[in-house]
Structure 1
């Protein structure tokens, strides 16, 4: 039985072997594909160069035919010399365009040169094409045929290439063409594919044709053994090369390219054979040896790790007691966190209820007061006499409704300051301090706001606002002072020590913090609860007759990193960043 460690090492060996073998095979495939593409490009270049060369030979032959047309024997000698310019040329042949009414005169003329000359059709059912100009049947009999070698020539004197479906379109369009016309691909008698090129001879009715072997043009003899090369033209496939290999290939990689001639599209399909010897067996063997060595090292490392596991277990037992103590500490910390979360929840509910109450006062009572004042003013318009009782009662109603509306507005503003939602903390604090209540009591406030105070979250904004609001309320009620200093500053922004510091001091009568009557006031307890809920520090310094100073420090980054400063249920969109020194509009 294999141990779990041995099974892991064996699995690692198999996985590493598969990965390295796959990489080497991909490299082999890329190399083979590159060689195959090079062969296909060579075939394409050979075919294009060969067809261009045959077209040039045919053009030169047409020039000679136009020059020596009255001397056919001299023409035959010159055309024979052109056959040696290309090994792919199978035959050169000269044709004459003859319409049906001129056939007898043409035969008499040809028989004077070649006794026994006859027109030869493919079959009695094959009809010649019709001239679009005159509407007469048109023949294109061969009047001179030259071939090289012992292979049978495709065309003999008297035969008509225009009767063949593969040649008819090219033959009929040649007289009006400026470039050589190509026939469709057809099979020679010896079995290879061929194509014929046709050009007109000067201004005469003669046509010159050239038959070229596509196998010779492609020069596919240098392809690897086992290669399969086919020429696809239309719906016909012509084998060009199919050499049986000595060894059966592993597989074939197909590759093809297309060639456009006149209105025809030829496609050359090449199947490249891949053999065993083309794969990199040396690197495969080296990779196997390296994989085996790596797996053995991995096995040794696994066994070493097992040996150290027992020591680690003993160390874990030593740490269990420490973990037990840590768990008790964590439980206490969790209780503290739960208390803080509960405080957050209570404050959130309080703010939500304040906002709801302020909204209800605005929507319900505010609309009713507006309707009452509207009706009172309509009564004033209907009874303009100031001495009438209706007019006086209407004025009283409008005055009382306006007073109630002002009291309601102040109450709504105390419940939920609108500037805190609309413009941010900076403008809300300036409006709170400059509201006029402190000035009416003869209290001057020195307000200092610094730093990016409008970029904090809703929870910090409402907490700071309530702290300052509560502190100013206590000062109005108990301090009996004439001057208040209020400083709010954000320090070390965008760092781990990002924090906000608040300091409020007055020159009032002060009090003894040790006195339970003062230290247990709900205002101070609420301020301490709000600060501690945000992991802040709250310091109170006061002495009878020496005034009071409150120092508050609230971290902004540390609580968020610990995940303790969760978004409030009443949180709204944060106002855009404003400069703390900007005066409100």
Structure 2
């Protein structure tokens, strides 16, 4: 499978150039060595005797011209070196500015996602508490009217039945909206149970596909932003399966475990989903925004998102997110 690059970091920069004093030391050492060798072999006398015989061609002036040329080349190299150092400082400053802007963008994206999920939770609660209660009351009143009407008032009986059916339909639609706004069981039973319920739902909708799910580790104590991000990753991955790989074998793996990173150990969550469906060519532009949204969610929490796929060779995505992402930093 060909992998899709995600992003580069400051660690990819080229190493700084050698210090100027070390280069200057080499120049002095070579100059001293040349002077010692010239004195040992009487180089200047030999050059003088060689050029005296060619005075009519003015070659005896060649050493002086070469000396001036060497000085000019040294001055030219110094100017280029100074310009290169100035350009390097400017590029480093621009890279640092870009990193700060990227960090600000990720923080704003994370705050936007948190605000969106908070609004979704509030709306789901309002739909359930307010509209759900009124629909239940309407359904009960309609059932009472139906029972009281009996066979004596067939028109009232028919209207009551229609009212009950309408209330049941609206209640079912609101339940679907609530499930899309806020995953069932996520707040009450935790992430693993919510994912199991989600996968079970897709098993019913895609009977020709096979699903296997493995969850390892403790997923309690996570921030709400991280919990909903992990759920949305799986949800979007299963949605892609329903669009492009309805008969595929799907494997979902999620684990929370420590990992060594830059000499320090961090608590990390890894989510991987793979299928053996038709796959796709990642070098071609895609019209959908699913992968872009998945990447933005993960990177907003300081994680990494990778995709690998080739035509007729399946599809795989892997997300790595710090387990502490989204939690308030401790105050020292």
Question: Does residue 506 of the first structure (1) align with residue 275 of the second (2)?
Answer: yes
- Residue in structure 2 matched with residue 488 of structure 1 by the alignment: 254
Q: 3-state SS of the aligned residue for 2:212?
A: strand
Deviation at 1:502, TM superposition (A): 0.7
Deviation at 1:389, TM superposition (A): 2.0
1:471 to 237, 245, 251: 237
- Residue in structure 2 matched with residue 525 of structure 1 by the alignment: 292
Deviation at 1:567, TM superposition (A): 4.4
Q: 3-state SS of the aligned residue for 1:373?
A: helix
Deviation at 1:409, TM superposition (A): 0.9
Question: Does residue 439 of the first structure (1) align with residue 204 of the second (2)?
Answer: yes
Question: Does residue 414 of the first structure (1) align with residue 180 of the second (2)?
Answer: yes
Question: Does residue 359 of the first structure (1) align with residue 128 of the second (2)?
Answer: no
2:310 to 536, 543, 548: 543
Q: 3-state SS of the aligned residue for 2:312?
A: coil
Deviation at 1:324, TM superposition (A): 7.5
Gaps of at least 5 residues in structure 1 are 1-319, 569-585
Deviation at 1:440, TM superposition (A): 3.1
Aligned counterparts of 1:334 and 1:425: Cα–Cα separation in 2: 33
In the alignment, is the contact (CA less than 8 A) between 1:426 and 1:454 conserved in 2? no
1:552 to 308, 319, 332: 319
**TM-score, normalised by the number of residues in structure 1:** 0.38
**TM-score, normalised by the number of residues in structure 2:** 0.66
Deviation at 1:396, TM superposition (A): 2.0
* TM-aligned CA distance change 1:321 to 1:507, over 3 Å: closer
Aligned counterparts of 1:483 and 1:385: Cα–Cα separation in 2: 55
Deviation at 1:327, TM superposition (A): 4.7
CA deviation string 1:3-29 (max 9, x = no partner): xxxxxxxxxxxxxxxxxxxxxxxxxxx
Q: 3-state SS of the aligned residue for 1:521?
A: coil
- Residue in structure 1 matched with residue 145 of structure 2 by the alignment: 379
1:161-176 matches, within 5 Å, as: none
- Residue in structure 2 matched with residue 453 of structure 1 by the alignment: 219
* TM-aligned CA distance change 1:538 to 1:493, over 3 Å: closer
Deviation at 1:493, TM superposition (A): 7.7
Question: Does residue 369 of the first structure (1) align with residue 135 of the second (2)?
Answer: yes
Larger radius of gyration: 1
Deviation at 1:410, TM superposition (A): 1.9
In the alignment, is the contact (CA less than 8 A) between 2:268 and 2:323 conserved in 1? yes
Question: How large is the RMSD of aligned CA atoms in angstroms?
Answer: 2.7
Deviation at 1:542, TM superposition (A): 1.5
Aligned counterparts of 2:245 and 2:299: Cα–Cα separation in 1: 25
* TM-aligned CA distance change 1:444 to 1:321, over 3 Å: closer
Question: Does residue 428 of the first structure (1) align with residue 197 of the second (2)?
Answer: no
In the alignment, is the contact (CA less than 8 A) between 2:210 and 2:247 conserved in 1? no
In the alignment, is the contact (CA less than 8 A) between 1:379 and 1:394 conserved in 2? yes
Deviation at 1:463, TM superposition (A): 0.7
In the alignment, is the contact (CA less than 8 A) between 1:377 and 1:394 conserved in 2? yes
Q: 3-state SS of the aligned residue for 2:185?
A: helix
Q: 3-state SS of the aligned residue for 1:454?
A: coil
Aligned counterparts of 1:368 and 1:390: Cα–Cα separation in 2: 21
Q: Could you say which structure has the higher helix fraction?
A: 2
1:214-233 matches, within 5 Å, as: none
Aligned counterparts of 2:190 and 2:215: Cα–Cα separation in 1: 13
Deviation at 1:566, TM superposition (A): 5.0
* TM-aligned CA distance change 1:323 to 1:386, over 3 Å: farther
Q: 3-state SS of the aligned residue for 2:274?
A: strand
Aligned counterparts of 1:325 and 1:499: Cα–Cα separation in 2: 33
In the alignment, is the contact (CA less than 8 A) between 1:480 and 1:509 conserved in 2? no
- Residue in structure 2 matched with residue 270 of structure 1 by the alignment: none
In the alignment, is the contact (CA less than 8 A) between 1:463 and 1:530 conserved in 2? yes
1:330 to 92, 96, 101: 96
Aligned counterparts of 1:509 and 1:325: Cα–Cα separation in 2: 43
In the alignment, is the contact (CA less than 8 A) between 1:438 and 1:476 conserved in 2? no
CA deviation string 1:102-132 (max 9, x = no partner): xxxxxxxxxxxxxxxxxxxxxxxxxxxxxxx
Aligned counterparts of 1:545 and 1:340: Cα–Cα separation in 2: 35
Gaps of at least 5 residues in structure 2 are 1-85
CA deviation string 1:22-49 (max 9, x = no partner): xxxxxxxxxxxxxxxxxxxxxxxxxxxx
1:497 to 266, 272, 290: 266
Q: 3-state SS of the aligned residue for 1:545?
A: coil
Q: 3-state SS of the aligned residue for 1:496?
A: strand
Aligned counterparts of 1:479 and 1:439: Cα–Cα separation in 2: 15
CA deviation string 1:238-285 (max 9, x = no partner): xxxxxxxxxxxxxxxxxxxxxxxxxxxxxxxxxxxxxxxxxxxxxxxx
CA deviation string 1:173-221 (max 9, x = no partner): xxxxxxxxxxxxxxxxxxxxxxxxxxxxxxxxxxxxxxxxxxxxxxxxx
